[in-house]
Amino acid sequence: MYDADGMELISNISPETKLCFIENNADLALKAFDYNVIDYIIKPITIDRLYKTIRKVKAAKEQQEPPSTQRLGLENMILMNVDHELKFITVKNLVCIEAKGNYTSVHLNDGTVFTTYGLIKVWEDKLPIHDFFRIHRSTIVNLHYVTKIERGSNDTCIIHLTGISKPFEISRSHFTHLKHSYRLIGHH
């Protein structure tokens, strides 16, 4: 690395890069903000001032995140290809999603079932965390449509969903997680 100050180096950095300066020289602050700087701290640094900057960095990162990384809400609509037609589907109408390799089968509350391209992990990362639960490595269910949970074999359980005749198995590890997440009481 060559001998240069921060202002010389900043011209070689991508404009999308968010920067924070920690300097002795307050005179450079105005010039620094021409380069997409999130904050400019004058030494000596106090803990309160550092926390304030960290909050600014976090807020800038959250604003910068593309919408695709944010979770959906129950009332959000998603555009899906259903039987070669694009349709808007409200998230709350999703009953169950099943993995089928690189595809997923999506069950809706009106009985419609369709297959779409995409991994179940993508669904898991997008769906509302308190309303949808992964019950098996291959299945996510909308908890609002659970009608019954029965004991299965080997500490597994069977879950029944509104509008779907076949029950689904809850794996042992996912059932343990479900019990802890929703505080099963009166369990023997």
Model pTM score = 0.61
**Per-residue pLDDT at 31 exceeds 50:** yes
pLDDT 10s digits, 132-153:
999 988 999 999 999 999 988 7
| pLDDT (mean) for 175-185 | 74
**Per-residue pLDDT at 39 exceeds 90:** no
pLDDT 10s digits, 114-130:
998 888 998 999 999 88
- Structure confidence at residue 95 (pLDDT): 97
End-to-end Cα separation, the chain, in angstroms: 65
Please, which residues have CB within 8 angstroms of residue 56's CB and are 6 or more apart in sequence? 20, 38, 39
Question: CA nearest 19: which of 61, 49, 65?
Answer: 61
| pLDDT (mean) for 90-102 | 93
Single-letter amino acid, residue 15: P
Q: How many helices (DSSP H) and strands (DSSP E) are in the chain? A: 5, 12
- Structure confidence at residue 185 (pLDDT): 58
Average pLDDT, the chain: 82
- Structure confidence at residue 3 (pLDDT): 59
pLDDT 10s digits, 59-81:
777 666 555 568 899 999 998 88
- Structure confidence at residue 161 (pLDDT): 95
**Per-residue pLDDT at 30 exceeds 80:** no
Q: Which domains does the chain have, with CATH numbers?
A: 6-64 (3.40.50.2300), 77-181 (2.40.50.1020)
| pLDDT (mean) for 98-127 | 91
